Structure 1
Amino acid sequence: MAERETLEVDALFVGAGPASLGGAIHLSHLIKAHNEKVENGALKAGKLEGITIAVIEKGSEIGSHGLSGAVMDPIALRELIPDFEERGAPLEGEVKEDYLYYLTAKRKIKFPFMPPPLSNHGKYIVSLSKLVRWMGTIAEEAGVNLFPSFPGAELLYDNNSVVGVRTGDKGVNRDGKPKGNYEPGVDIIAKVTVLGEGPRGSLTKKLIEKIKLDAGRFPQVYAIGVKEIWEMPRGSVPPGRVIHTLGYPLKSETFGGGFIYSMKNDLIDIGLVVGLDYRDPLTDPHLEFQRFKQHPYVASLLKGGKLIGYGAKAIPEGGYYSIPQLYADGVLLIGDSAGFLNGQRLKGIHLGIKSGMLAAEAIFQALLKGDYSSRQLSSYQQLVDESWIKKELYPVRNFHSGFENGRWAGLFNAGISYISGGRWPRKRAYDAGHKRMRKLSEYYGAQNIQPHTMKFDGELTFDRLTDVYYSGTAHNEDQPCHLKVLDTSICINRCAVEYGNPCQYFCPAKVYEMVGDGQGRHLQINFSNCVHCKTCDIMDPYQIIDWVPPEGGDGPNYVNM
């Protein structure tokens, strides 16, 4: 059997999203600037020579797992790369038109004014997958080592200090036995490991549980964004148009809303966000998204177009009080893994990039001192608290919890919170989203319960499997299932009765199915459909689903997402 290799680096970023790439680029710039000052005699210090910065990514290439709305505030990208426009950043266009509508089943009602947090003039519509690919080229130019198809399988520890990451094995069959092409993962030893895996990162989750980094914090609360890319007739899509919606098709008790953005080459980016703290156990985000497209106004925008892309992603909505401790011995948390997202503004890319940059500054000081302890790395927390990240997130610290009692109370609370600078409504504890799901008997009482269904026409609306096809998702089926259900008897004996097996509905990729009858009824996991959104790990009411990375390179292949 092949021996496991070891690779030593100075700084290891896990996950090639905007936070990790921003951090890696900034750290490289800091080291270069330091060494130039030493060479020029402007600084009396030793040079930082031979510093190795690495980024590992589970996707087959940089950007293949990148998905977001997205309207980007350029503040952080401009700090990182001041000439990003001249260097060819793949911007879909500057926002020229902003609309906010409340949808009923048949009508749209335009808001009489644009709430300031949703005013996007001067911001940029972007495809995150394209942006990340471009940032990857900038990182390589800066000397950063990029390793796609290298998923982080487990953290390496020396006592409670993180000392690196073991990447996933390749060539293991479905029974966990090595195949002829078996290749063990690599132990990457790092002075500092930075977790930028995205929302509900598998390594981040285990680290937080092990070291109790969430002690004294509120639980993170998530939403799921389900989206499609449509190709429209030439010249039919006005550039720079941003549309947000509230109301239909979601119940007033359910957090969320729609978005429709114009992209280059007559593409439309359309999606629906559904809070993963809903009460109805039969809530089906993918189905709700298809219903959203059936609204007369939305359908009119898509008329004459065709579906060319699909994807889904979890979104950390908890806000400031849900951000865990950001540091421990040998490790830092950045981006969505740390919960850096402004739910009120519907933006997180800029916060992710900035958090990566601040992590880089903390690592730079640690390299100068040769100290990678929690005490030294705590400077990252201080840098965050002194930056515009806290200035932006603290005033909206109660935004999501303000929607606890539904849409109308939430909108009222959001308005008061904006006016009061977040001082009202006051801080109040809330539960993790899966705890808010009601049992069938509690939600429906004695009603004859029927799962929500609709007929898909294959032109405007699509079933899950058709959409999954357009995500480009591919997994080698002769490998261990990466969706670990700890006790499948619960699915059959308890969940079916208590919740109606909600995994069949909250998964946007038809991964989970209850098949068979009577004694032969069982859970079937179609893991090859998985689009890596992590919703199952988040929303399972019993918390017995553990999402771990599949073999490196597997998963969706996002292009315009």
Structure 2
Amino acid sequence: MAPPREEMPVDVLFVGAGPASLAGAYHLLNLIEKHNERAAAGEGKEIPPLEIAVLEKAKAVGLHTLSGAVMDPRGLAELMPDFVEQGFPAECQVSSEDVLFLTEKGHHKFPITPPPLQNHGNWIVSLAKVVRWLAEKVEEKGAFVATELGGREILYDGDRVSGVRCSDKGIDKEGNPKGNFQPGPDLTARITVFGEGVRGSLTKELVKKHGLDLGKEPQVYATGVKETWKLAPGKFPKGHVVHTMGWPLDAKTYGGSWAYGGEEGVLSLGFVTGLDYRHPETSPHNMLQRFKEHPLVAGWLEGAEILSYGAKAVPVGGWWSRPRPWAPGALILGDSGANLNAMRLKGIHLAIKTGMLAAETIYEGLVKEDLGDAQLATFESKIDASWVKDELWKVRNFHQAMAGGLYSGMLRTGFQVAFGGADPFGGSRVAAHAGHTQMKKLSELSGSERHRPKAHTDNVKIFDRLTNVFQSGTMHEEDQPVHLLVADTDICRTKCATEYGNPCQYFCPAAVYEMHDGDLHINASNCVHCKTCDIMDPYQIIT
């Protein structure tokens, strides 16, 4: 007989241990602590001790976080003014930077760094280290950070979110209980805060159930594929940042690269590919490998040793594509709420700030003893009144401009910067299109553009996907349920093969999807949890 499902009641449940949730939990505990100090001095009523939990599906906080970022410290400085003194685990501050336009064999340096790409004074960080540090601070404040607990479904009381049911453990790949079977607990909460990252499965469910995207533009994404390298001495300066555009992308595909020089000769090297590309053989992984074949980048990597690999999707649709950030019993933060500045390619500071605003919303509700819809709706108004909107409003049409191509996009973006985000051709709000709808069918490609150039793999500097997956440290039990589901595999062997040539073979940066004799084979244990397949499948049948 299976053991009973445990119910674990808490007051506030944060789903996902990323910067948004951790900042929210930390700020909420701070607000309550200061409130109770005032109450002890006779100012108001004390808030009784609360159970605040942060749910993380990985075995440890930070394992599912793509490291290597240049972080704007604005949000963290508001959350924790003495963050440096508290041991903030930064690599270094940015001291120099270049923006380059690449051709196949050469490059052209921009005479000045465009203001949105200026990073002087920002911090080069390992985001995995940052969230681990934040988790420690949250636990010191009294919250509970629960790892190895992935949310499987949302719990409801009527239409109101009442918590999350966690995934069962001890299930084989056929879905049958094994000897160590343990039902996932039900974590019930007065308020549930979703900060599970981009395209989170629970957030998707919540948005759909409550129509939180009604009246919004479709969300658009990009996938960043990243490697970290230990460089030979003198190859790339510490504190130096390089961003590139141009080659190996064609002029119609959105994207570009980054290179960040950290401590002890460690280089974060990555490539972002817009997930609204036209060619069905476009591969974000291949873009990074081809980028490394460029003479400039190859020079950086002479004598280098790879340390790690990873991939992650980011929301780049902008202000008009953000879902409503609240529902009955729930708030949505960070990348889950599409709070990312696509022009700057920065979202950590916005995630932290949305976490803080969520904490303030919850705190006010606790003081008033009211966490009903009217109170939760103030979260949206708080965002609107904050610098989150100020920043995102100025770039609200950026990706829509770039979706038309690099050269026209640069021209339109220049106008947008001059006119506070308004577009010269679309006005204040430019329509967006879901990325998967932009993929061309094979019949629409001319013979000369039928196949995409591929990198020359040597598995020393230029890697195939399986080698990179090994370098990612990804670990899944082979005998566990497949977490990637294809609703109708007949479409894969028939319609998709004919119309698009099975693009899942290309867009996945971890070689999860392979076609064998016309049949789809899913290597679920390779998955690096980037969400690209869920986003870019032309039939939207992968979940």
Deviation at 1:112, TM superposition (A): 1.4
CA gap of 1:405–1:178, structure 2 versus 1, over 3 A, is same
* 2:485 partner SS: strand
* 2:394 partner SS: helix
Deviation at 1:342, TM superposition (A): 0.4
The yes-or-no answer on 1:528 pairing with 2:525 is yes
Greater RCO, 1 or 2 (C-alpha within 8 Å, sep 6+)? 1
The yes-or-no answer on 1:435 pairing with 2:471 is no
Deviation at 1:69, TM superposition (A): 4.4
Map Cα deviations across residues 375-412 of structure 1 (whole Å, 9 max, x no partner): 21001011111110001110110000001210001111
| Residue in 2 that maps onto 1:217 | 216
| Aligned counterparts of 2:136 and 2:256: Cα–Cα separation in 1 | 34
| Aligned counterparts of 1:48 and 1:432: Cα–Cα separation in 2 | 45
| Residue in 1 that maps onto 2:130 | 131
| Residue in 2 that maps onto 1:231 | 230
Amino acid at match of 1:502: P
| Aligned counterparts of 2:35 and 2:233: Cα–Cα separation in 1 | 50
CA gap of 1:455–1:446, structure 2 versus 1, over 3 A, is closer
| Aligned counterparts of 2:18 and 2:382: Cα–Cα separation in 1 | 21
Deviation at 1:263, TM superposition (A): 1.0
Amino acid at match of 1:282: E
1:112-511 equivalences under 5 Å are: 112-234=111-233, 236-425=235-424, 426=427, 427-442=429-444, 444-445=445-446, 449-450=450-451, 452-511=453-512
Map Cα deviations across residues 89-109 of structure 1 (whole Å, 9 max, x no partner): 111111000100000000010
Deviation at 1:366, TM superposition (A): 1.4
Deviation at 1:448, TM superposition (A): 8.8
| Residue in 2 that maps onto 1:540 | 537
Contact residue 68 and residue 313 of structure 1 kept, 8 A: no
Contact residue 140 and residue 146 of structure 1 kept, 8 A: yes
| Residue in 2 that maps onto 1:76 | 75
Contact residue 102 and residue 247 of structure 1 kept, 8 A: yes
Amino acid at match of 2:24: G
* 2:480 partner SS: coil
Name the TM-score, length of structure 1 as normaliser: 0.95
Deviation at 1:449, TM superposition (A): 3.9
| Residue in 2 that maps onto 1:106 | 105
Contact residue 241 and residue 262 of structure 1 kept, 8 A: yes
Contact residue 328 and residue 373 of structure 1 kept, 8 A: no
| Residue in 2 that maps onto 1:556 | none
Deviation at 1:265, TM superposition (A): 1.5
Deviation at 1:423, TM superposition (A): 2.0
* 1:456 partner SS: coil
Query: Aligned Cα RMSD in Å?
Result: 1.1
| Aligned counterparts of 1:112 and 1:449: Cα–Cα separation in 2 | 37
Deviation at 1:185, TM superposition (A): 0.4
Map Cα deviations across residues 520-554 of structure 1 (whole Å, 9 max, x no partner): x31000000000000000000000000xxxxxxxx
* 2:514 partner SS: strand
| Aligned counterparts of 2:461 and 2:208: Cα–Cα separation in 1 | 43
Contact residue 225 and residue 273 of structure 1 kept, 8 A: yes
| Aligned counterparts of 2:102 and 2:452: Cα–Cα separation in 1 | 24
| Aligned counterparts of 1:99 and 1:446: Cα–Cα separation in 2 | 37
Q: Which moved more, 1:353-362 or 1:232-241?
A: 232-241
Which 5+ residue runs of structure 2 have no aligned equivalent? Answer: none
Amino acid at match of 1:110: K
| Aligned counterparts of 2:363 and 2:65: Cα–Cα separation in 1 | 27
Which 5+ residue runs of structure 1 have no aligned equivalent? Answer: 547-561
Amino acid at match of 1:278: Y
* 1:79 partner SS: helix
| Aligned counterparts of 1:441 and 1:244: Cα–Cα separation in 2 | 35
Amino acid at match of 2:439: M
CA gap of 1:99–1:497, structure 2 versus 1, over 3 A, is same
Amino acid at match of 1:494: K
Deviation at 1:446, TM superposition (A): 5.5
CA gap of 1:384–1:373, structure 2 versus 1, over 3 A, is same
Deviation at 1:303, TM superposition (A): 1.1
Name the TM-score, length of structure 2 as normaliser: 0.98
Deviation at 1:234, TM superposition (A): 4.2
Deviation at 1:87, TM superposition (A): 1.2
1:58-77 equivalences under 5 Å are: 58-77=57-76
Contact residue 282 and residue 452 of structure 1 kept, 8 A: no
| Aligned counterparts of 2:338 and 2:535: Cα–Cα separation in 1 | 14
| Aligned counterparts of 1:492 and 1:311: Cα–Cα separation in 2 | 29
Amino acid at match of 1:115: P
| Residue in 2 that maps onto 1:554 | none
Amino acid at match of 2:149: F
Amino acid at match of 1:301: W
CA gap of 1:74–1:454, structure 2 versus 1, over 3 A, is closer
| Aligned counterparts of 1:454 and 1:358: Cα–Cα separation in 2 | 45
| Aligned counterparts of 1:335 and 1:454: Cα–Cα separation in 2 | 34
| Aligned counterparts of 2:234 and 2:245: Cα–Cα separation in 1 | 28
Contact residue 235 and residue 300 of structure 2 kept, 8 A: no
Deviation at 1:346, TM superposition (A): 1.3
Contact residue 12 and residue 51 of structure 2 kept, 8 A: yes
| Aligned counterparts of 1:420 and 1:68: Cα–Cα separation in 2 | 34
Contact residue 341 and residue 351 of structure 1 kept, 8 A: yes
| Aligned counterparts of 1:106 and 1:372: Cα–Cα separation in 2 | 59
CA gap of 1:452–1:502, structure 2 versus 1, over 3 A, is farther
Contact residue 293 and residue 455 of structure 2 kept, 8 A: no
| Residue in 1 that maps onto 2:17 | 16
Contact residue 163 and residue 186 of structure 2 kept, 8 A: yes
Amino acid at match of 1:167: C
Contact residue 318 and residue 339 of structure 2 kept, 8 A: yes
CA gap of 1:88–1:237, structure 2 versus 1, over 3 A, is farther
| Aligned counterparts of 2:402 and 2:542: Cα–Cα separation in 1 | 27
Contact residue 290 and residue 454 of structure 2 kept, 8 A: no
Contact residue 232 and residue 265 of structure 2 kept, 8 A: yes
Map Cα deviations across residues 411-434 of structure 1 (whole Å, 9 max, x no partner): 111111111111223222121100
| Aligned counterparts of 1:236 and 1:428: Cα–Cα separation in 2 | 43
| Aligned counterparts of 2:271 and 2:61: Cα–Cα separation in 1 | 25
CA gap of 1:394–1:68, structure 2 versus 1, over 3 A, is farther
Deviation at 1:345, TM superposition (A): 1.1
